[in-house]
C-alpha cells in the first residue's frame, strides 16, 4: 500500500507540474496551418520563446506540417481538438536529424531511436495535450521498405523523451507513425493518459507505447491499435523499469502476425520490477501472445501483478520465459537473469486463434520462481488429435511463444520452474483435445487448489 500511495503522490506532482506563464499561438510566429506549408520554424520559435519560466504553445484551427521539433523545459504544448500536426514526409536529415541519444547508463537502445517528430532531450515538466491529432504519415515510401529488424534508427517516431522528468502526454490521437509511435528512455515520472493510437497496418516495428528504462510510470485509459507490440516495456541498461501502473487500456493487435498486445522485453538488460497491471482488454494478437514477459538478456523480473484482463482472438494467453541470448552493453558481463513472484488473477480468455497453450519456461539450473494464477478462466482452442509432443528448449533466437508450436498441453506448458500455483482456475478447450490441460517438465512444485 505504501508503494501505491507513493506512486500516486509522484504522479500527482508530475501532472500538476504543467507550464504556467505566457501563452503563445504558433500563428503569431508565422505558422500557416494549411497542411502544405512547412510550419517547422514557426512552431520551434514559439517553443523557444518560452524561456526558463515556461509557457504554453498553442496549435489550433489548422493542419501544421513540420519536421523535428525540440521541446523545452516547463512548457505545455496545447494541440487543440481543431488542430492536426503532420510529420513531413522526408528522409532528409534537415527535417529529421539523426542523432545518437545521450543516456546516463550504457544503453543498448541508443542506436535505435535516432529520429523523431517531437523530441524531449533531458527536459523537465513538459505536457503535451489538448484533444488534437499527431499524424506521422508513415506510409512514405522510404519508410515502407523494411527488410527486417534494425531499421528503427532510420524512421521517425512521433514522440521521444530521453533523460526527462515529469512528462505528461494526454488526450491526443496519434496516427500512422513511421516507427514506434512514442518512446520514453531513462526518464522518471511519466504519465500517459487518454490516448487514441492507431499505427495502421503498414510495416514492422510500429509499436503503440514503448517505455525503456523508466521509473514511476502511469499509463491509463488508452485505446491502442498497433501493427506491432501494443504496450512494450524494454530495458537497454542497468536502470531498468520500476514502479509501473498500467490500467484500463484497450489493445488491439489488428490481426497482424508480428508482436504482442502487452510485453516486457525482448530487450531486457536491467530489470522489470513492481508492476501493477489491471483492466486490460487484449485482442487480435493472432499469432503471438496477449501477455509476454521475457528475460533473455539478463533482466531481473520481480513482483508483477496482472489482474482483471480480458483476452480474445490471440494465439496464446501468456508467454513467460527466462533465457540467455548473451547480449550486453559495454562494462557489463553477460548474465542470466531471473523471474520471480508473478501473479495473474481474474484473467479471462476465449476464442483463441491458435492451438498453443500458455508457456512458462526457464533454463535448466535457473528456474522461474513463484508464479500464481487465481480465478482465471481460459477457454482454449483445442482440437489437437495427438499428445506427447517433444518441446524444444529455447535456442537463443528471437523469443516468441508461437515458436514452440502446439506443445504437449492445451492449457499450460511449464518447465524449469520452482513453484506454480493454480487457485480456483477453470481451464478448458472449445474442441476435444488429446492433450492434458497442463504439462510439466522439471517443475519442483505444482499446486492446484
Q: What percentage of the chain has pLDDT greater than the value 90?
A: 83
In a domain, 106, yes or no: yes
CA distances from 73 to 78, 126, 164, 305 (A): 15, 6, 10, 34
CATH code of 145's domain:
2.160.20.10
In a domain, 271, yes or no: no
Task: Tell me the average pLDDT of the chain.
Answer: 93
> Bridge-partner residues for 58, per DSSP?
25, 78
Query: Domain tally for the chain?
Result: 1
In a domain, 99, yes or no: yes
In a domain, 120, yes or no: yes
Are the beta carbons of 50 and 100 closer than 8 angstroms?
A: no
In a domain, 129, yes or no: yes
Look up residue 118 and give its three cell numbers: 517531437
Average pLDDT over residues 122-133: 97
Q: Pick 164 or 105 by higher pLDDT.
A: 164
Distance CA 201, CA 183 (A): 19
In a domain, 322, yes or no: no
Query: Can you give the residue range of the structural domain that contains 244?
Result: 2-252
Average pLDDT over residues 248-277: 95
- Rg (C-alpha) for the chain, rounded Å, is 22
Res. 3: pLDDT tops 70: no
Distance CA 38, CA 19 (A): 26
Distance CA 349, CA 346 (A): 10
Element (H or E) spanning 379, and its range?
A: strand 377-382
> Bridge-partner residues for 232, per DSSP?
210, 263
Q: What is the pLDDT of residues 200-219, one digit of tens each?
A: 988 888 999 999 999 999 99
Q: What is the pLDDT of residues 393-429, one digit of tens each?
A: 999 999 999 999 889 999 999 999 999 999 999 999 9
Q: What percentage of the chain has pLDDT greater than the value 70?
A: 95
Position 152 scores a pLDDT of: 81
Look up residue 334 and give its three cell numbers: 553477460
pTM, 2 dp: 0.94
Q: Which of 282, 433, 269, 448 is nearest to 350 (CA)?
A: 282
In a domain, 297, yes or no: no
Taken in order 219, 220, 222, 228, is the CA torsion positive or negative?
Answer: positive
- Cβ neighbours around 397 below 10 Å, total: 10
In a domain, 354, yes or no: no
Position 52 scores a pLDDT of: 73
Res. 259: pLDDT tops 60: yes
Res. 190: pLDDT tops 60: yes
Amino acid at each position: 500500500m505504501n508503494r501505491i500511495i507513493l506512486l500516486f503522490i509522484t504522479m500527482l506532482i508530475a501532472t500538476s507540474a504543467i507550464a504556467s506563464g505566457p501563452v503563445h499561438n504558433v500563428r503569431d510566429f508565422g505558422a500557416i496551418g494549411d497542411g502544405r506549408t512547412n510550419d517547422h520554424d514557426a512552431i520551434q520559435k514559439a517553443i523557444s520563446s518560452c524561456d526558463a519560466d515556461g509557457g504554453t504553445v498553442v496549435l489550433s484551427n489548422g493542419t501544421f506540417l513540420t519536421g523535428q521539433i525540440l521541446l523545452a523545459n516547463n512548457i505545455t504544448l496545447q494541440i487543440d481538438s481543431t488542430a492536426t500536426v503532420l510529420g513531413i514526409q522526408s528522409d532528409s536529415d534537415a527535417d529529421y536529424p539523426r542523432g545518437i541519444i545521450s543516456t546516463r547508463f550504457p544503453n543498448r537502445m541508443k542506436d535505435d531511436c535516432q529520429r523523431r517528430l517531437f523530441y524531449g532531450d533531458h527536459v523537465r515538466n513538459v505536457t503535451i495535450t489538448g484533444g488534437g491529432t499527431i499524424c506521422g504519415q508513415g506510409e512514405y515510401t522510404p519508410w515502407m521498405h523494411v527488410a527486417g529488424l534494425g531499421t528503427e534508427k532510420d524512421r521517425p517516431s512521433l514522440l521521444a523523451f530521453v533523460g526527462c522528468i515529469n512528462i505528461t502526454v494526454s488526450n491526443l490521437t496519434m496516427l500512422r507513425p513511421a516507427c514506434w509511435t512514442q518512446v520514453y528512455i531513462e526518464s522518471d515520472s511519466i504519465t500517459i493518459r487518454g490516448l487514441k493510437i492507431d499505427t495502421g497496418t503498414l510495416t514492422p516495428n510500429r509499436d503503440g507505447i514503448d517505455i525503456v528504462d523508466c521509473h514511476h510510470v502511469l499509463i491509463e485509459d488508452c485505446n491502442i491499435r498497433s501493427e506491432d507490440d501494443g504496450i512494450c516495456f524494454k530495458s537497454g541498461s542497468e536502470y531498468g523499469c520500476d514502479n509501473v501502473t498500467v490500467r484500463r487500456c484497450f489493445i488491439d493487435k489488428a490481426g497482424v502476425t508480428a508482436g504482442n498486445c502487452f510485453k516486457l522485453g525482448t530487450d531486457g538488460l536491467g530489470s522489470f520490477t513492481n508492476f501493477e497491471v489491471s483492466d486490460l482488454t487484449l485482442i487480435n494478437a493472432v499469432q503471438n501472445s496477449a501477455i509476454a514477459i521475457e528475460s533473455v538478456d539478463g533482466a531481473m523480473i520481480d513482483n508483477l501483478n496482472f489482474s482483471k484482463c480480458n483476452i480474445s482472438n490471440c494465439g496464446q494467453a501468456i508467454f513467460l520465459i527466462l533465457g540467455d541470448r548473451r547480449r550486453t552493453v559495454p562494462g557489463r558481463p553477460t548474465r542470466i537473469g531471473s523471474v520471480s513472484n508473478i501473479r495473474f488473477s481474474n484473467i479471462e480468455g476465449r476464442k483463441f486463434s491458435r492451438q498453443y497453450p500458455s508457456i512458462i519456461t526457464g533454463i535448466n539450473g535457473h528456474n522461474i520462481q513463484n508464479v500464481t494464477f487465481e480465478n482465471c478462466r481460459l477457454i482454449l482452442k483445442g482440437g489437437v488429435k495427438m499428445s506427447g509432443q517433444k518441446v524444444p528448449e529455447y535456442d537463443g533466437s528471437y523469443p516468441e511463444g508461437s515458436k514452440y508450436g502446439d506443445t504437449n498441453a492445451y492449457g499450460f506448458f511449464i518447465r524449469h520452474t520452482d513453484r506454480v500455483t493454480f487457485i480456483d482456475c477453470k481451464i478448458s478447450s472449445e474442441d476435444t483435445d488429446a492433450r492434458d490441460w497442463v504439462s510439466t517438465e522439471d517443475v519442483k512444485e505444482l499446486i492446484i487448489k
